Structure 1
Amino acid sequence: MTIETEKITIGDYIFKRLSQVTKSVFGVPGDYNLKLLEHLYNFPKEQIKWVACNNELNAGYAADGYACLNGFSCLISTFGVGELSAMNAIAHAFVENRSVLHIVGISKTRQYNKTRLYTNIHHLLPPKEHSYELQDHKSYIKLADGISCCSEVLSTDSGDLTKVQQQIDNVIEQVFVQMRPGYLFIPNDISELEIDVVMKPLRLTKLEHATEIELATSKKVAELILNKLYAAKNPAFIIDSLIKKHTKELNAFFQKSNFYCYTTNQSRGAIDETLPNFHGVFTNLFGSSGTLDILKEENDVIIHLGSYLNEVSFKYSDKNTENKSWLKNADITFVGRDYAAFGFIENHDFKTSMDKPHLFYPENVNCEIVLEEILNKIDYIRIPKVAIRPSTASYNSGYGIKTVGDITHDKLSVYTSNIMLKANDVLVNDMCSFVFELENVRFPSNIKHVSGPFYASIGYALPATVGVCMALKDMKQDRRVILIQSDGAAQMTLQELSAFIKYGLTPIIYMINNSGYTIERAIEGPTRDYNDIMVDWDWQKMFNVFGDAKGEKSCAFKVKTFEELGKIDVDDVENKNKVKLVELILDKFDYPSRLRNALDSCK
């Protein structure tokens, strides 16, 4: 049988493959990626297009936001100065499990082995010792290893280009399947070279990449979990971030089984929070009001699925005896990216656990495969009949507070639950003081939540919102985008306000202005000037500065009380096609009560 091949340039092949998983490419042009970028314009914009950003850090955050909705995104930067600027955003994507491909245009392969002294090139570090020695053209490639799941360096060194297609396909597939960023390094002199390719479908599911032992072990774990469910009286599932994208399947499962279900704060939006069997945001020690009490009182078997345990999603203190006691006695199972643990074992001894395989399954388990097995194999006739809890809300979206008078964090969470958010919204929030109140905000149905609470890099959300809005346009989805941003964080990445104007993006931005870094104030030095922002900016004029001089594409409001806020109609027909900024004035010493609680627990 003859295998038909297609002759295509490397540059064209890259964008042809990318067009199968994304419609937008974010980035900043630079001298080492320009030849590659020219190939993007061989495709119609409907297939794939360039989205310009003001700097590489912002481009990385925008790509991250795009991936949250689309499932994959791409960022292109240039050698050294560009790729290093983007590295913080790629680290964010790695920590928060986003599928972002970072393509870097690097130096020409023929420059790698040039002789010394007179051939040093710009953007590249000089030798650490002996300045007359060769520069290391792969010095930046080494830095990317710890924040990527896969990296490929295209090369003509051997004169063999037969592996190029495999390299390009592999990094796209790995980024997609592993939900972590990857790198594709492309020398500046190879984009025009032609290769013979066989156009076959990309393999974009975990099952297509699973080994036999991974499949067998994951199926065994799923079988043990199913047996636990059949023997339980009132089982519960805590859905964590590693299976967050399986929203449709999870909601159908919980509607049919009636099992109690919870999310972590990193997986908000994975479950429809209007379901009567949804009981809140679980973060162990904290979470939404009453959630832990319900879990301990009602649920005899707990399946923590898609586990991504960290101090944000699973707050744990070995000094808290009550915390240690309930976990030790709980019938709780954790299933993560590459392990399953039956029972809570403090200070896990992996070697000892491996000798007791009924307690711990290391390395060859995947939570996505386990979920698929559970959904495919569960016998609904054998599961316990779970009654709906009379009080269906595990946390009260009002908890007795009226949204009147001056705006405060605690009241703002009530306003967000009852007024700000609507069904089908996409909520983006920065790592700001209000994050600590979000656990008490009950989401309407079909909310998509985009944040970065574990890496917690302030300034992420504003450019991420650019990516979110672009993804919605590419996916042809008409959904409101709500950004909750703070003044201190916004200063980090403010330039991307111009992208909203350039591309006609229309999010609703709630800018919390409390004159500085509130989380840091609460931790230390509340009156120190290091917790003050540089100067008070005039947020009402920002869009005029960043490209909307006549106010045709934007509008801004400034309020201090809920009465003033209530008079603003952000869905007004007149402003429908504008980006809207609502500046909320809060006292600089107004701290969310949940922030105080979290800090007190750390003392």
Structure 2
Amino acid sequence: MSTTYTIGRYLVDRLGELGIRHIFGVPGDYNLSFLDTIIEQPALEWVGNCNELNAAYAADGYARIHGIAALVTTFGVGELSAVNGIAGSRAEQVPVVKITGSPASKVAEEGRLVHHTLGDGEFNHFSKMYKEVTAAQTTLTAENATEEIDRVLRTCWYEKAPVYINLPVDIHGLPAKQPKEPLLKEDSAASANTISEMLETLIPVIEKAKSPVILADYQVSRFHGEEALKRFVEATGFPIATLSMGKGVFNEEHPQFIGVYSGKTSPDYLRNRIDHADCIISIGVKFTDSITSGFSQGFKEESVIHIAPKEVNYRNEVYSKIAMDESLKQLAGMLKKREEQSLNIIPVTEQQREEPFYVKDDQALTQKRFWEMIRLFIQKDDVVVADQGTSFFGAQTVPLKENVTYIGQPLWGSIGYTLPATLGAQLADLSRRNLLLIGDGAFQLTFQEISTMLRENLHPIIFVINNDGYTVERSIHGPEASYNDIKMWRYADIPAALGGNKNFKSYKTNTEGEFADALKDIAESPDVLRFVEVVTQKMDMPELLTTLGKIFAAQND
């Protein structure tokens, strides 16, 4: 180990200061010596992935649980493989530090025709591409390295967005001064006048409302506002719903929780409650097509108070630089709590009362019965990861128990994302049980990362829904078209083929009885990876997806 403090060590120490304990990626000749710096640090663990795209997905999943993540690839071929995953992190506001090991500075300056380039002597093609999908970018030099590292890492943390660091192979080993000040500093608070004006405007609007409702979404979790949201909800007594992208940001067993809103496909009580509200307090919400059933929300914009991570907006009046936590705290302190009777709240726990469930041993599994059984299987504190397909739209309607984290990707919607993301999420918190729900088509894209899970001795529970092809696409267009077909695999054999020995259990289930037996055995085998192939019919899909398929088809016409 070198005794000289270096630029590479500075970067690694700053990542550690942000709490990062695992770094994902794939080695390549332009990053190998920097990887030495990583593995020399006992507080960091290098997690090598099967490919760079999977590494980016894993980092995204890690960041959603841990708060921030990092990955390292080589120049050109490696970083372009990862760019789709980084774009997804940008779309869904996930803070990921993307580090590229690149050719030596002199090589780039002289425009040499070296490998992993386009052979034209230009070395900034790929950094230009990353400029489109990251919030900040830098190429480190001997003169700017420490200042630039701090700049982009602060951007990553405060903006909750991925950033790009280009680290030439001859730079990371150069001397640097150790940091003397903390990387993160307190945000500048909003002025007292701004807060006062916001309260003077909004308090009368909210108190006048006869049917107020709270609508929360994913930005609550990205900006760590769950506790502030809980205090606000309980201080006001108002009913609260989430959108599917923010599912789990509020306890779904809470007596004020009324459901996951999805526009016109929502249950009648929930849809009427949201669409006819005279005041909607929208907290951390972005309305996108897949979570609103094709922008089918029925409420009027003038009834919405938008509380964003760093501002409040009501009828185009913007109150800037007010953090979400502060907005909720100030409003909660001024509003009177409504009586439960006056608000006519019917919580999800009463809307969807659990009926006695009896397993029909020889009955073929259906989507409906599968989701009913999964609902009973999910436990408090689980992490539920649902891929963008039948899995996401099925899981969307399953009420979650207290402190369950729900991970999906409905805006970017890159199928296969969730399997590597589960790897990252599990490493971020080894104490929590991770359940992955993924379709066969998505699984075929990224299945290799099961080998990394086995190598790291992780114990997620993986449900692969084998319905013989791209069912979401079949629901939209071409139910019998050959382009929606995929090769049938022996899915239950894959953990063994990828090197599993005694550290996994695999099941293939065709009937309710077989699936029930698998779930029972899974509960009794917590110390191994569990892999369950769930066989259903080709066109069997959750009811919500059947409806959404028609909406998306019309939207594409």
Query: Normalized against structure 1, the TM-score is what?
Result: 0.84
The CA deviation string for residues 441-491 of structure 1, in whole angstroms up to 9 with x for no partner, is 111111001111111100001111100111013xxxx22111001111010
Letter in 2 for 1:140: F
Secondary structure at the counterpart of residue 378 of structure 1: helix
Structure 1 residues 382 and 540, CA gap change in structure 2 (3 angstroms): closer
Is 2:349 the partner of 1:396? no
**1:553-592, aligned counterparts within 5 Å?**
553-570=503-520, 575-592=525-542
Is 2:187 the partner of 1:190? no
Letter in 2 for 1:263: T
> 158, 178, 181: which is aligned to 2:159?
178
How many Å separate the matches in 1 of 2:346 and 2:310? 37
Question: Counterpart in 1 of 2:469?
Answer: 516
> 215, 220, 228: which is aligned to 2:205?
228
Instruction: Give the unaligned 5+ runs of structure 1.
Output: 1-5, 128-134, 343-358
Deviating more after overlay: 301-310 vs 252-261: 252-261
Secondary structure at the counterpart of residue 194 of structure 1: coil
CA contact (8 A) 1:10 1:191 kept: yes
How many Å separate the matches in 1 of 2:233 and 2:94? 25
Question: Counterpart in 2 of 1:112?
Answer: 108
> 317, 320, 327: which is aligned to 1:365?
320
Question: Counterpart in 2 of 1:240?
Answer: 217
Secondary structure at the counterpart of residue 245 of structure 2: coil
Structure 1 residues 111 and 528, CA gap change in structure 2 (3 angstroms): same
**1:54-73, aligned counterparts within 5 Å?**
54-73=50-69
How many Å separate the matches in 2 of 1:446 and 1:571? 24
How many Å separate the matches in 2 of 1:400 and 1:530? 41
**1:18-33, aligned counterparts within 5 Å?**
18-21=15-18, 22-33=20-31
**1:209-358, aligned counterparts within 5 Å?**
220-221=197-198, 224-244=201-221, 245-287=224-266, 290-296=269-275, 299-317=277-295, 326-327=299-300, 331-336=303-308, 340-342=312-314
Question: Counterpart in 1 of 2:41?
Answer: 43
CA contact (8 A) 2:475 2:550 kept: no
Structure 1 residues 7 and 223, CA gap change in structure 2 (3 angstroms): farther
CA contact (8 A) 1:407 1:560 kept: yes
CA contact (8 A) 1:402 1:411 kept: no
Structure 1 residues 301 and 144, CA gap change in structure 2 (3 angstroms): same
How many Å separate the matches in 2 of 1:11 and 1:273? 44
Is 2:63 the partner of 1:86? no
User: CA offset at residue 221 of structure 1?
Assistant: 4.1
CA contact (8 A) 2:259 2:347 kept: no
Letter in 2 for 1:311: D
How many Å separate the matches in 1 of 2:193 and 2:184? 20
CA contact (8 A) 2:245 2:410 kept: yes
User: CA offset at residue 591 of structure 1?
Assistant: 2.4
How many Å separate the matches in 2 of 1:553 and 1:223? 60
CA contact (8 A) 2:419 2:447 kept: yes
Structure 1 residues 409 and 569, CA gap change in structure 2 (3 angstroms): closer
Structure 1 residues 403 and 247, CA gap change in structure 2 (3 angstroms): farther
> 155, 180, 201: which is aligned to 1:199?
180
How many Å separate the matches in 2 of 1:289 and 1:566? 32
Question: Counterpart in 1 of 2:491?
Answer: 539
User: CA offset at residue 331 of structure 1?
Assistant: 1.7
> 352, 364, 375: which is aligned to 2:329?
375
Letter in 2 for 1:375: K
Structure 1 residues 289 and 73, CA gap change in structure 2 (3 angstroms): farther
> 437, 445, 459: which is aligned to 1:506?
459
Structure 1 residues 150 and 397, CA gap change in structure 2 (3 angstroms): farther
How many Å separate the matches in 1 of 2:117 and 2:196? 49
The CA deviation string for residues 151-201 of structure 1, in whole angstroms up to 9 with x for no partner, is 121024xxxx2x322211121111111111111111110111112244211
User: CA offset at residue 55 of structure 1?
Assistant: 0.5
Question: Counterpart in 2 of 1:131?
Answer: none
How many Å separate the matches in 1 of 2:309 and 2:327? 15
Secondary structure at the counterpart of residue 26 of structure 1: strand
Question: Counterpart in 1 of 2:370?
Answer: 412
Letter in 2 for 1:459: G
CA contact (8 A) 1:337 1:365 kept: no
How many Å separate the matches in 1 of 2:290 and 2:195? 26
How many Å separate the matches in 2 of 1:379 and 1:574? 47
> 379, 384, 387: which is aligned to 1:430?
387
Letter in 1 for 2:369: K
The CA deviation string for residues 268-316 of structure 1, in whole angstroms up to 9 with x for no partner, is 111001110100112333345631123345x431111112221123345
Question: Counterpart in 2 of 1:142?
Answer: 128
Is 2:105 the partner of 1:155? no
**1:469-508, aligned counterparts within 5 Å?**
469-473=426-430, 478-508=431-461
Structure 1 residues 295 and 400, CA gap change in structure 2 (3 angstroms): farther
* Identical residues among aligned pairs (%): 27
User: CA offset at residue 395 of structure 1?
Assistant: 4.4
The CA deviation string for residues 494-523 of structure 1, in whole angstroms up to 9 with x for no partner, is 110101110010011111001110011111
Q: What's the Cα RMSD here?
A: 2.6
Secondary structure at the counterpart of residue 290 of structure 1: helix
CA contact (8 A) 2:228 2:328 kept: no
Structure 1 residues 396 and 597, CA gap change in structure 2 (3 angstroms): same
Structure 1 residues 9 and 307, CA gap change in structure 2 (3 angstroms): same
How many Å separate the matches in 1 of 2:335 and 2:311? 29
User: CA offset at residue 230 of structure 1?
Assistant: 3.1
User: CA offset at residue 334 of structure 1?
Assistant: 2.4
> 119, 125, 128: which is aligned to 1:126?
119
Structure 1 residues 574 and 369, CA gap change in structure 2 (3 angstroms): closer
Structure 1 residues 467 and 198, CA gap change in structure 2 (3 angstroms): closer
> 530, 533, 537: which is aligned to 2:483?
530
CA contact (8 A) 1:291 1:395 kept: no
How many Å separate the matches in 2 of 1:408 and 1:204? 52
How many Å separate the matches in 2 of 1:501 and 1:304? 42
How many Å separate the matches in 1 of 2:282 and 2:324? 12
Letter in 2 for 1:501: L
Structure 1 residues 413 and 216, CA gap change in structure 2 (3 angstroms): farther
How many Å separate the matches in 1 of 2:118 and 2:193? 47
User: CA offset at residue 36 of structure 1?
Assistant: 1.1
